[in-house]
Amino acid sequence: MDAGIDYRVVESSPWLLRLAYLMQRKGIRGGYYLENTARSRGWFDVLVRTTLPRGIKIDIPAYKDAYDLSRIDEYERDLVQLLASRLGGQKSPLVLLDCGADLGLFSALLVSSCSRIRKVIAFEPNRGSFPLLKHNLEMLPVLAEAKNAAVADFNGRGELSYPPHDAHDHAAFIVPAEEGTIPVTRLDELKLPKDHAVVLKIDVEGGELSVIRGALEILSSCPGFTVVFEAHRDQVKRTGIDPMEIVSLLTGLRSCHVMVAEEPRIAPDVARPFFEQYPGRIYNICVFSE
């Protein structure tokens, strides 16, 4: 295995984990206890190799409960399908910038669904996730690069912080720190192919506006862009930044079409606060330059 990855790869989920999932879905008592007990004893300490469309492979840890191994193909399904339908007709080749890539599942799913993607650059500040991200990107059939760094509107150092309501790694966000252990960079520092359109996916737990501000040069100069970012009610409360502020910044660069992946038939009104229009908690907003 690659440096930093000590788990063996198997072709299917551990049978005990499949049994626990089955019990949970059918409401049979003990399903969650079985899963948690087996997990704590190391019985799920393997990577499960999943094959996606176009033969693309990705290794998912069974030892973490962040992903439901029985439903990997359903992960962000609405978003991936929307992007594939919109990007498939692109004339320019595409470069995917995956900010907050975790172990690379979104990158793998989008590459498997969109043949126009020629290059992937993925950023993940969490050192625990990074070795597996690097490993998974190396299995992609396109040029791919993993960067153990955070993305913002400055170049420097930072640290991961956690909101009071959630200590999970997926909820961590970057804060500036002069002596921080995590490098922080602006996307405008990248040297991208001038003929490639940009697909920018942002999952940085409240730092979306900062990422955009650090990418204004590439978004203004590339042949076209698609920006995808998460609108999370709890993060909006923490930061005070409404998702429509981000949309306004992007639509000020170029004429754009804005869609919400989970509610594609409802056009958002940029003049109104986002969560006045959408009553749920988490959405994916897609901004397509025209």
Question: pLDDT at position 1, please?
Answer: 44
Residues in contact with 170: Cβ distance below 8 Å, sequence separation at least 6, in sequence order: 66, 102, 205
Helix (H) or strand (E) holding 22: helix 15-25
Residue pair 231/206 in contact by the 8 Å Cβ criterion: no
Stretch 25-45: mean pLDDT = 94
Residue 255 confidence (pLDDT) above 70: yes
pLDDT in tens, 148-197: 999 999 999 988 777 665 555 555 677 878 888 999 999 999 999 999 99
Stretch 99-127: mean pLDDT = 95
Question: pLDDT at position 170, please?
Answer: 58
Q: How far is the C-alpha of 236 from the C-alpha of 243, rounded, in Å?
A: 8
As to burial, measured by CB atoms within 10 angstroms (0-12 exposed, 13-18 middle, 19+ buried), residue 78 is middle
Q: How far is the C-alpha of 255 from the C-alpha of 288, rounded, in Å?
A: 9
Stretch 131-158: mean pLDDT = 96
| Structure confidence at residue 281 as a pLDDT band (50, 70, 90) | confident
What is the secondary structure of 110-172 as a DSSP string? HHHH-TTEEEEEEE---TTTHHHHHHHHHTSSSEEEEE--EE-SS-EEEEEE--TT--SGGG-
Question: pLDDT at position 15, please?
Answer: 94
List C-alpha distances in Å: 195 to 96, 200, 223, 235.
13, 16, 6, 35
Q: What are phi and psi for residue 215, nearest 5 degrees?
A: -130, 15
Task: Give the torsion through C-alpha atoms of 78, 82, 88, 90, to 10 deg.
Answer: -140
Question: pLDDT at position 3, please?
Answer: 45
Stretch 259-268: mean pLDDT = 93
Stretch 14-36: mean pLDDT = 94
- Average pLDDT score over the chain: 91
Give the residue with greater pLDDT, 218 vs 163: 218
Stretch 24-45: mean pLDDT = 94
Residue 200 confidence (pLDDT) above 60: yes
Domain 75-289: CATH superfamily is Vaccinia Virus protein VP39 (3.40.50.150)
CB atoms within 10 A of CB 20: 24
Question: pLDDT at position 171, please?
Answer: 56
> What proportion of the chain, given as a percentage, has pLDDT over 90?
76
Residue 284 confidence (pLDDT) above 60: yes
Cα 84 off chain centre by: 15
Q: How far is the C-alpha of 230 from the C-alpha of 250, rounded, in Å?
A: 15
Boundaries of every domain in the chain:
1-73, 75-289
Q: Assign residue 4 a region (left: φ > 0; alpha: ψ between -120 and 50; beta: otherwise).
A: left
Question: What secondary structure letter does DSSP report for 7?
Answer: P
Q: How far is the C-alpha of 159 from the C-alpha of 183, rounded, in Å?
A: 9
Stretch 48-56: mean pLDDT = 93
